[in-house]
Structures are given as C-alpha cells and as structure tokens.
C-alpha cells in the first residue's frame, strides 16, 4: 500500500479500503477467558484489568444491540457521515460455543451502519468451525478482523504473566486463519517483566514471520486491581520502565526490523488516569504517534529497512 509516511499506517489503510471514515464501536458481550475460569488457569493475565479500556456505554448487562446503538449515537455526534465496525473487545471473544457466537455476531450485524466485526481473542481459542463461519461473513461482504493477543513471543514471559498460551499457539492460529479473507491482527506489549531491549526487538523478527496484516503495540502499564499492581508494590525490582524518549527510540528500532507489509495500528495506549499506577507519560495516542513520526524522520528511519537483514 502506498503511503507518504515512513511506516505502513492504519489510517491510510482504512481510507484506501473504504474511502470514508470508519469508527469502531466497542462491545462487551460478557465473555471470560480460559486463564480466568480454570480451564487453563485462574486469576487471568497478571497485567489485565478490562475496565481500563471499556467505554461507559460498553457494559455486558446491556444487550449487544443496545451497546451498538448507544455507541453509534455517541460517535455520530462527534463526526459526520461514517460507518462502523462492531468491536468485540473485552476478554476472549471467540470463547463460547459456535452457535452462541453466531447469535452475538449476527445481532451486531443487524445494524445497517455496521459493515463488519473486529474480534479480540486469544490464539489458543479459535477453532476451525469459527474460522469457517467468519470466512462465510467475508463472503457476505463484511470486513472481518481477528485480533489475536500475542502480548509476547517469548514463552517464558508468557508463563510468567500467567498468559497460559505459547508462541507456538500463535503460529498455529495464524496459519489456520490465513488465506480466508479475514484481516489478521496481533497485539504486543513492550516492557513485560524479565524482557530486555533485545528480547523486545526479537518480537519484531518473530511477528514478521507470521501471516499478519495489522499490529498494535503499547508499553507495559501497571494498573489498579491487578496482580502486577501487587507485584509492583512488593517487588518493584521485577520491572524496568523506559522513559518516554527511550520508548520512542525503541519503537523506531522495532519498526525498522518489522516486515514493511505489516500495517501498524498503534504505538501507544495510556490507561485512564484513575486506573493507572505507572508509568504516567501524560500523552494521548496521537501525540506519541507524532513523536514517533518525528523520530523516524530525524533518524532517516523507515519501516522494514532492516527487515531483509534480520531475516
């Protein structure tokens, strides 16, 4: 995809694909996760508190149709004519029987302004029946994005954060989901306990080998009511945080190693102030994006510049 930027950016992808503004409307459909309900583990991921990213209208006690309507009403006041993607965001949104999933997804698609689904899930929670159904939705001209929570490509880290999955699970999920017309996304956290700078850059090399379309990146945050909040209070030596300038440099180095065909959706995300313990950069996503773009230019850096060398 042609872009004037030094990286393959998500907003350009959306503009080129649809030709108009597309907004995600978040849905909390009341899912759980296998590392919370005991099937794989208990307690959930040590960093996780879903309240850090759920908007006010997005409550599982409300029917999906109501959450959609309230989300559309909210964004239609802010922006002119646009379409929407129903974003099944909270917890693991393929972790239910296939018939239940179909009911929930179809309810979201009943709204004429919804042109597709974004489904956040784990790579160990996607079976072929679900993939077959999502492929059918693509054939019905819906845009379907599967967003796999990778978090790390290091199996020791995944064990330490109680993720209860492996990078091999991710490789398997991407391979099975590939070539179905589904837009495949991934999510990484940089700065997890025990990971060095080289470990974090290795994520770029490993992710580049996946059949992935879009990548979200953000830094580790300690938020309230999580196991990590307890660990940070009692064993702060477990954690190594970068200051903002070093984080920007890390992102630039990461981007240069990354396959240039991968679309970067996000470099940063800061939790609400009332939930966030540390670090507090005090910046919005777009402000960090501008800092990254400026640093890329200053260093004459570009996404994928080192990709052929690193692979």
Q: What is the pLDDT of residues 113-125, one digit of tens each?
A: 999 999 999 999 9
Cβ-proximal residues to 32 (8 Å cutoff; 6+ apart), any chain:
91, 92, 95
More confident residue, 310 or 257: 257
User: Which of 117, 158, 111, 115 has the alpha carbon at shortest distance from 29?
Assistant: 117
In a domain? residue 18: yes
Number of domains making up the chain: 1
| pLDDT over 70 (residue 54) | no
| Domain assignment of residue 97, yes or no | yes
d(CA 220, CA 47): 8
User: Which CATH number covers residue 187?
Assistant: 3.20.20.70
Residue 302 φ then ψ, to 5°: -155, 145
Q: 0.75 cut: is pTM over it?
A: yes
Q: Which of 51, 155, 145 is nearest to 93 (CA)?
A: 145
Q: For 138-152, what is each residue's pLDDT tens digit?
A: 999 999 999 999 999
In a domain, 311, yes or no: no
What pLDDT shows up at residue 18? Answer: 93
Structural contact between residues 80 and 110, judged by C-beta atoms closer than 8 angstroms:
no
DSSP code at position 119: E
Residue 311: partners with Cβ closer than 8 Å, 6 or more residues away: 205, 208, 209
Per-residue pLDDT reduced to its tens digit, 277-309: 999 999 999 999 999 999 999 999 999 999 988
Maximum alpha-carbon separation in the chain: 52
Distance, in Å, from the CA atom of 296 to the CA atom of 223, rounded to the nearest integer, reads 30
- The answer to the question of residue 3 being in a domain is no
Residue 66, pLDDT above cutoff 90: yes
Q: Residue 46, exposed/middle/buried by CB under 10 A (0-12, 13-18, 19+)?
A: middle
Our CA dihedral for 254, 223, 88, 78, rounded to 10 degrees, sits at: -90
Which one-letter DSSP state was computed for residue 236? G
Q: What is the pLDDT of residues 70-90, one digit of tens each?
A: 999 989 888 876 899 999 999
pLDDT at 311: 64
Identify the sign of the CA torsion 115, 95, 272, 200. Answer: negative
**Which residue did the predictor score with more confidence, 250 or 59?**
250
The answer to the question of residue 113 being in a domain is yes
Q: How confident is the model at residue 1 (pLDDT cuts 50, 70, 90)?
A: very low
Residue 4 lies in a domain: no
Q: Using alpha carbons, list the distances in angstroms from residue 59 to 77, 143, 217.
A: 20, 24, 25
Alpha carbon of residue 133 to chain centroid: 22
* pLDDT band for position 60 (cuts 50, 70, 90): low
pLDDT at residue 208 in the model: 97
160 located within any domain: yes
Domain with 30 in it: 10-306
Q: Is 180 exposed, middle or buried (0-12, 13-18, 19+ CB in 10 A)?
A: middle
- How far apart CA 291 and CA 237 sit, in angstroms, is 29
pLDDT digits (tens, 9 = 90+) for 197-255: 999 999 999 999 999 999 999 999 999 999 999 999 999 999 999 999 999 999 999 99
Residue 16 inside a domain? The answer is yes
Q: In whole numbers, what is the pLDDT of the chain averaged over residues?
A: 93
Query: Region 18-44: what's the mean pLDDT?
Result: 93
pLDDT of residue 51: 66
Residue 309 has what pLDDT?
81
The answer to whether the bond into 279 is cis (omega within 30° of 0) is yes
Residues 6 or more apart from 248 whose CB is under 8 A from it?
A: 288, 291, 292, 295
Secondary structure (3-state) at 147 = strand
């Amino acid at each position: 995809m042609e872009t004037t930027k030094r990286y393959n950016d998500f907003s350009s992808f959306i503009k080129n694909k649809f030709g108009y503004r597309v907004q995600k409307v978040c849905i909390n459909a009341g899912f759980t996760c296998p590392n919370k309900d005991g099937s794989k583990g208990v307690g959930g991921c040590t960093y996780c508190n879903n309240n850090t990213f759920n908007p006010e209208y997005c409550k599982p006690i409300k029917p999906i149709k109501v959450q959609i309507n309230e989300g559309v009403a909210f964004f239609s006041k802010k922006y002119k004519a646009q379409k929407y993607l129903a974003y099944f965001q909270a917890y693991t949104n393929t972790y239910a029987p296939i018939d239940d999933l179909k009911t929930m997804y179809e309810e979201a698609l009943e709204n004429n302004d919804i042109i597709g689904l974004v489904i956040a899930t784990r790579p160990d929670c996607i079976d072929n029946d679900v993939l077959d159904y999502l492929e059918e939705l693509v054939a019905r001209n819906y845009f379907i994005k599967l967003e796999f929570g990778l978090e790390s490509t290091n199996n020791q880290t995944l064990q330490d954060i109680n993720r209860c999955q492996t990078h091999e699970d991710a490789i398997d999920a991407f391979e099975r989901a590939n070539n179905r017309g589904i837009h495949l996304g991934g999510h990484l956290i940089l700065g997890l306990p025990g990971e060095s700078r080289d470990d974090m850059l290795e994520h770029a090399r490993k992710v580049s080998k996946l059949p992935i379309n879009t990548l979200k990146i953000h830094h580790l945050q300690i938020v309230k009511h999580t196991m990590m909040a307890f660990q940070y209070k009692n064993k702060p030596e477990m954690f190594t945080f970068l200051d903002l300038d070093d984080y920007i440099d890390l992102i630039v180095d990461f981007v240069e190693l990354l396959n240039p065909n991968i679309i970067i959706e996000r470099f940063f995300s800061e939790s609400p102030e009332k939930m966030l313990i540390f670090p507090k950069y005090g910046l919005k996503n777009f402000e960090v994006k501008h800092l990254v773009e400026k640093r890329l230019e200053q260093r004459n850096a570009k996404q994928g510049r080192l990709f052929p060398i690193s692979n």
